[in-house]
A and B are shown apart, each in its own frame.
Chain A
Amino acid sequence: MRNSGILPYRPEVAARSFPVFRGMVSDKMAAFVIKGSAFLAIASLILIFIFIGKEALPMFTSSEVQQEAGLSKLFLPQPAHPGEAAQFTWQPISETPKYSLLPLLAGTLKVTIIAVLIAIPLAVAAALYTSEFAPSWARETIKPCIEMLAGIPSVVVGFFCLMVIASWLQTAFGLTFRLNALTAGIGLSLAVIPIVYTVSEDAFSSVPQAFREGSVAMGATSWQTASRVVLPAAMPGVLASCILGFGRAIGETMIVLMASGNAAVLSWSPAESVRTFSATIAAELGELVQGSPHYHVLFFIGAFLFILTFVINLAGRWWVGKLQKKLQGAA
């Protein structure tokens, strides 16, 4: 080496090139800040729960709110006027406000079930095809399509239902109401398809290749392999996809707000207008006096939606985890 002699020690240079002390301080600070922000995800989930719960709490504590919208008024039939027959009615803005949640529950279930019934068979079948049979060019076509579908903002889907699908359905079936549970359900299924597809496709492709090879070696056709080996093996993942899709459908707001007609009618006909929980919040929160019983009822519905989707997600993730464990044990 050319420069083999000992270099003269120059502390100012040493301090510049090896800022050890400064490095340690910034390291401690960075660790603190980074750790802190990681807690934020947990904290925000808890904050959401607390602050929605806080606004829903007067439902149970304030006598004034209870008098107008107590739990019995929410769930039991109430007479519209004294002396008349008791009914389930959601009519918060009237002389005697009526807060029966039953029409909303029925509406939510109706729309969600229609959406799920359309979306799950389509999405699971498409996922099975993509994972088991599709040539690679087909896979390269369907996957971006699903991503595009997932990328369409829900307000655009709502708009499309309102403008196009509603008219199609009305002419096709001769419906009285343009906006009804069927329109909203079809629109909602567009939001559910991507999540069901993605999760079940993941489940199918995580089935070890050896399963398929074993099945084909025993003389099974590719359909037999897909339906009797891959599908059962991936079942927990497929179930998870259905549950997560259901959770997505229950919480989706803009599509149902725009396409369902928003009439809180208690009926099981898919051709009638419906009003869902989420659409009720979206439609009514804007024009409210803060702190009125109506305001608290909407937050109560919000808290219910939050807890419901929380549980649904936990269940879905649990099933995905179960699938992974099962396949890891098998592979």
Chain B
Amino acid sequence: MSSDWMKRTKFAGALSQGLTAFACLIIIAIVVIIMGNIVSHGVQKISWEFLSAPPRDHFTKGGIFPAIFGTAALVILMTIAVIPLGVATAVYMYEYAPKRSRLVQLVRLAIQNLAGVPAIVFGLFGVGFFIEFVGRGLDKGLYGGRLVYGQPAIIWSALTMALLTLPTVVVATEEALRAIPNNYREVAYSLGATRWQMIRKVVLPQAAGGILTGGILAVSRGSGEVAPVMFTGAAYSLPHLPTQLHHQFMELGYHVYVMSTQAFDVEATKPALYSTVMVLLMLTFLLNFTAVMIRARIRKKLRDGR
């Protein structure tokens, strides 16, 4: 009787444990299937021409160079905006403000909530604030009402994206700051450094890896996100590359969206579409992988430091 009960308990345990393992397997399988499908279809059309030429004949021929160029320009502008702001925010929270102060809690809450705001809401904000308010204001003040900045432009997309990726940078930087042993700071102070000198000469160089991680993750997010740039600057198709801040641009993710939903001839577009998706996917994975490697090194340092 009792051994029977034991057997049943053991069996139920093994079964349930097996089910949870199965859940893991499903998730792994999903990732493998998605990757396999995209790479196996996408790799056929990848060539130098595909990466370096503009699209032709309703996206069926040519390449995706303008989209790659536009994405690069977008994330560079975004990085210029988000890194100083994100790093300063993290430095304030960790180095300046008293621990557990009301303000720090408020900033942290804001960062967490900012991370949860849907991307499309950022897009709306970009339209309502950057284009309608800032852009129109600039046009009125500087260009006498001529339409220059009061319309979708790469700078507005980049700034919208910078807000979207701000939490990523702040969180990564804060983690890096936490990994720096306190005696580094104390030594700097004991040598007569002011707080800013200490931060500039000791903390920031030490945190460079973490800041880099945050930056790379932000770039990875920014190069794949479509909803915030749809109305703030991304264009369906452009005859020339963006060279000015108020130009529109083509973006890889948006290009994928356009090709897969508004293509003239779905079957004819398919090879180019798959290859574009593969380029986008490889780009984000490469960036994420780099970030994960750097972060692993920082975490190791953090563990060894204690």
Contacts and interface: CB of A to CB of B under 8 A. Distances in A.
Interface of A: 18, 20, 23-24, 26-27, 29-31, 33-42, 44-45, 47-48, 51-52, 54-55, 121-123, 125-126, 128-130, 132-134, 138, 141-142, 144-149, 151-160, 162-164, 190, 193, 197, 221-224, 226-227, 244, 247-248, 250-254, 257-258, 278, 281-282, 285-286, 290, 298-299, 302, 305-306, 309-310, 312-314, 316-317
A251 B113 contact: no
24 contacts: A23-B193, A26-B197, A34-B91, A45-B114, A48-B122, A121-B23, A129-B21, A133-B20, A133-B21, A147-B288, A153-B224, A154-B119, A154-B226, A155-B226, A155-B254, A159-B257, A190-B30, A197-B27, A226-B17, A227-B16, A285-B231, A299-B124, A302-B121, A309-B117
Contacts of A317: 109, 112
Contacts, number: 276
Contact of A54 (B96, B111, B128): B128
Nearest to A316: B116
Contacts of B37: 160, 164
Nearest to A310: B113
Interface in B254-282: 254, 256-257, 260-261, 270, 273, 277, 280-281
B256 A47 contact: no
B125 A134 contact: no
A151 B285 contact: yes
Nearest to A306: B121
B253 interface: yes
Q: Is the interface of B mostly helix, strand, loop or mixed?
A: helix
Given A48-B125, A299-B128, A305-B118, A160 B23 contact: no
B272 to A, nearest CB: 13
Find the residue from B21, B27, B121, B253 having the highest chain A CB count within 10 A: B121
Q: Is the interface of A mostly helix, strand, loop or mixed?
A: helix
Given A38-B107, A221-B9, A27 B195 contact: yes
Interface of B: 9-10, 12-14, 16-17, 19-24, 26-28, 30-31, 34-35, 37-38, 84-85, 88-89, 91-93, 96-97, 103, 106-107, 109-125, 127-129, 132-133, 163, 166, 170, 192-197, 199-200, 220, 223-227, 230-231, 253-254, 256-257, 260-261, 270, 273, 277, 280-281, 284-285, 288, 292
Contacts of A155: 224, 226, 253-254, 256-257, 280
Given A133-B20, A133-B21, A24 B194 contact: yes
A34 B285 CA distance: 32
A305 B24 CA distance: 32
A138 B96 CA distance: 41
Given A31-B96, A156-B281, A51 B129 contact: yes
